[in-house]
Amino acid sequence: CSCVVVLGQQGPVFVLEPPSTLVFSNTTGSQLSCSAHGSPTPHVTWITSPDQRPVTAVPGL
């Protein structure tokens, strides 16, 4: 067993966490927000469920 402490680092902490499920229609649309902080700065990635693929922009929307 071993332990390493790296000073100046902090795991990500959600400042604004989106809901786990979002239901929307093509006529209403929707907006999701997410914010986190930490050191090093966290990178937020949106993924689809259940296949866990990265979300990409849809041209024209």
Residues of the chain by 3-state class (helix, strand, coil), percent to 5: 0, 25, 75
pLDDT in tens, the chain (61 residues): 655 556 778 888 888 888 888 887 778 777 888 888 888 888 888 888 788 888 887 766 6
Q: Are 20 and 47 in contact (CB under 8 A)?
A: no
pTM of the predicted model over 0.75: no
- List, in order of start, the domains of the chain with CATH numbers: 1-61 (2.60.40.10)
At 11 the pLDDT is 82
